[in-house]
Structure 1
Amino acid sequence: MNERYYKLIEDYSKKNIGSEDLTDLLTWVDSSQQNQQIFRETLQAFEVADYALNKPANQQKSWASIQQHIENSATDQSPVIRKINYRKYFTIAAAIVLMALLPTLYFNTFSTKKAEVVAYNEIYNPRGQKRLVTMPDGSNIYLNGDSKIRYATNFNTGKRIVYLEGEAFFDVQHRAKQPFVVYTGKVSTTVLGTSFNINAYSSLKDITVTVQTGKVGVICSKNGKNGPVQFLLPNEQLTIDKNGGRLNKMQINAADFNGWREYKLFFYDKPLSEIAEIISREYDLDMEIKTEALKGIKLTAKFDKCSVKQIMDVIARLSDSKYTIYENKVIIYER
């Protein structure tokens, strides 16, 4: 096992792990049952050691505390008999003692690293268009209108990180040792190989993550602290309130929310103001709603490659309104 993960587990136990490190640790833990067992056992050992090391106790007491914990663990799990790898625990204990006694050495070692200057590629897709971007690793990103992604020029080495503004559908190539991470404001979505949709337009009050295949882990930060990871499976959707941080997880049909790639629109209990914004983005139009009452009307409808007029006919009927199309502008008003 890479010694780095022992350090990440310690940071996790002390609740001072960074967002990117937490993503790495969760990906590693989720990759195998063996890693999950190592994580549980190591975390327990750290908790016992922390109790001793946080007091002015000597090194012998720290070692005794860890050894006692190992013996108790074996006793607690009777009648199941298993061989305990004491060498592994002694390695953990040694790492704990070293970090407790020589923090200056540790931080000085890492502080000597020079900050790397990272160059980025940025791709913007204007309103009324769809764009397919094939990443250096072979992953495909479908950009919706008025959406932008940013990624490092050395994207294909190490962790694969993408920054998103707007909406995109991701079809990610599986790489066990290279997690794929999408950052949208204070929300990070981590996968190894899957397909999912993220809707994070700045004008919306929510960020929505919808999984079509595979599994993703979503972490939301608030007031500088990371919340618990939310795991999503196929046909599950997580909605995150940008302001309050409230989460809402539900079962849905992912195809309804990913259909925009094929010029299909799906509105479920959405206010007319938000629907108008989507139509404006999809067809590169200016939309105007004349009254506040109309803006708040919520509608549910599905359209498959329809013209603007076909869409507006349905919306007018459902909202009991009228509309006018003048050149590149649509005006909606009460009857």
Structure 2
Amino acid sequence: MPDNNNRLIELLIKKESENLTLLERKELLKLLEEDESYLDLVHFLDVADKKQEVFFNKNKQEDVEKSIQRLKKKINVKTRRLPVKKYLLVAASVLAAFVFIKFMAFEADTKKLAGNTYKTEKGSKSNLTLPDGSKIWINSDTKISYKDDFGKTSREIFLEGEAYFDIVKDVSRPFIVHTSNMNIKVLGTVFNVRAYNDESNTQASLIKGSIEVTLTKDKSKIIRLKPNEKIILRNNVHKMAQGKNADEPAILITNIKRLEADSSVVETLWIENKLAFREESLENIILLLKHWYNVEIIIADASLKNNLYSGTFKGDNITDVMNALSLTGDFSYSKKNDTIFIIPK
């Protein structure tokens, strides 16, 4: 049985990395037939991992209920009891290998530019270990840079895009993240910053520790966040003052968002390669998809922009995402080359 366990682990890893041959696929099926308890493990690693959930507009309860029923039919799989020890040993081995594979793939997508500047392309992600040991996970279409004297008296980096930070504590050398609209000062903490120049908001979400936020246009104003809080700063406030968002506050302190199923933090699910949003407008989701999939998306009817959606996707391509959104929303879409056009139904 231990030999079967080892072989099963090897085959599942190859399946995850899409390197399974036809003969190996048959071998995997044979192993599963010999011991049906392994099917629960495969369900845990595969079916649950690839499920998606989408529902439309919190004000349209009937749409929500219909979507939930569709999802229940999709993921309704009968499960059997699996011996706990066997399950934990095999699952731990496979998941550890999956994490390693994902980490290596994550790390391979950084493009080093001149000096200490790193850039990810649209549709790719990466990570970076700084000279002080702090770790940064870098989302797609993001640039990070730091000066040659990083770590001598302070630790400062410059960010355009989105990144997740796990900072080594050093009271004598504060860590500062500079963006176009806000600066974030930390001692040792875990947080996420989203600061794309083409988006209407800059956000910082605190997972643990503490951070101080100052505005680039008003350095006298210091905002301190507690764990599980996030700050949302509207960009170009003066330009937007007469627009449709004029009644929204320029600065909003709110709680981070969590999935109901497992309390995962929505703002940081991207580091697990999960595309997630909660009660976001179609306009904001489109910006997210542009960075994620490197596509151009045009909303032909402005009345669709403020419709709210929630969803979680893992391993889905842009067509899968658009199909799910259009299924639950009031729009259809067409694609021409690398451009997607969204129109009312």
Could you state the TM-score of these two structures normalised by the residue count of structure 2? 0.58
Q: Which of the numbers 272, 276, 283 marks the counterpart of 1:273?
A: 283
> Is 1:264 the equivalent of 2:268?
no
Q: Secondary structure at the match of 2:168?
A: coil
Deviation at 1:252, TM superposition (A): 2.0
| Number of aligned residues | 215
Map of 1:1-335 to 2, 5 A cutoff? 121-222=116-217, 225-244=218-237, 246-253=250-257, 255-335=265-345
Asked if the contact 2:275/2:312 (under 8 Å) is kept, the reply is yes
- 2:41 is matched with none
* CA drift at 1:156: 2.5
**DSSP-derived class of the 1:228 partner:** strand
Contact 2:181–2:202 (CA under 8 A) maintained in structure 1: no
Cα deviation 1:2-29 (Å, max 9, x = unaligned): xxxxxxxxxxxxxxxxxxxxxxxxxxxx
Q: Relative contact order (C-alpha < 8 Å, sep 6+): which is higher?
A: 2
Distance 1:189 1:321 in 2: 39
Q: Give the drift of 1:185.
A: 1.7
Asked whether the equivalents of residues 146 and 156 of structure 2 are also in contact (C-alpha less than 8 Å), the reply is: yes
- Give the SS at the match of 2:172: coil
For the 8 Å contact 2:257–2:267, the answer to whether it is kept is: yes
Residue 199 of structure 2 contacts residue 287 of structure 2 at CA under 8 Å; is this kept in 1?
no
SS in 2 for 1:273: helix
In structure 1, distance between residues paired with 2:286 and 2:304: 11
Rounded Cα–Cα distance in structure 1 between residues aligned with 2:235 and 2:286 = 21
Measured after TM superposition, the shift of residue 208 of structure 1 is 0.5
- Residue 312 of structure 1: SS of its match in structure 2? helix
Deviation at 1:327, TM superposition (A): 4.6
**Amino acid corresponding to residue 270 of structure 2 in structure 1:** W
Deviations 1:96-154 (A, max 9, x none): xxxxxxxxxxxxxxxxxxxxxxx952111110000101111111111111111110112
User: Between Structure 1 and Structure 2, whose CA radius of gyration is higher?
Assistant: 1
Shift of 1:289: 2.1
Structure 2 counterpart SS, 1:185: coil
**SS in structure 2 of the partner of residue 317 of structure 1:** helix
Deviation at 1:186, TM superposition (A): 3.6
Q: Deviations over 1:56-75 (max 9, x none)?
A: xxxxxxxxxxxxxxxxxxxx
Contact 1:221 1:227 in 2 (8 A): no
Rounded to whole Å, the distance in 1 between the matches of 2:185 and 2:194 is 15
Counterpart amino acid of 1:190? K
**Using the alignment, how far apart are the partners of 1:189 and 1:261 within structure 2?**
20
CA distance in structure 1 between the aligned counterparts of 2:126 and 2:180, rounded to whole angstroms: 22
DSSP-derived class of the 2:227 partner? coil
Superposition CA RMSD, Å:
2.0
Q: Which moved more, 1:241-250 or 1:281-290?
A: 241-250
Structure 1 unaligned runs (5+)? 1-118
- Counterpart residue identity of residue 314, structure 1: A
Task: State the match for 1:85 in structure 2.
Answer: none
Among all aligned residue pairs of Structure 1 and Structure 2, give the percentage whose two residues are the same amino acid: 28
Name the CA distance, whole Å, in 1 between partners of 2:335 and 2:271.
25
Deviation of 1:267 (Å): 2.0
CA drift at 1:271: 2.1
Q: Counterpart of 1:177 in 2: which secondary structure? A: coil
| CA distance, structure 2, for counterparts of residue 221 and residue 154 of structure 1 | 22
Residues 262 and 305, structure 1, Cα contact 8 Å, conserved in 2: no
- Segment of structure 1 superposing worse, 313-322 or 294-303: 294-303
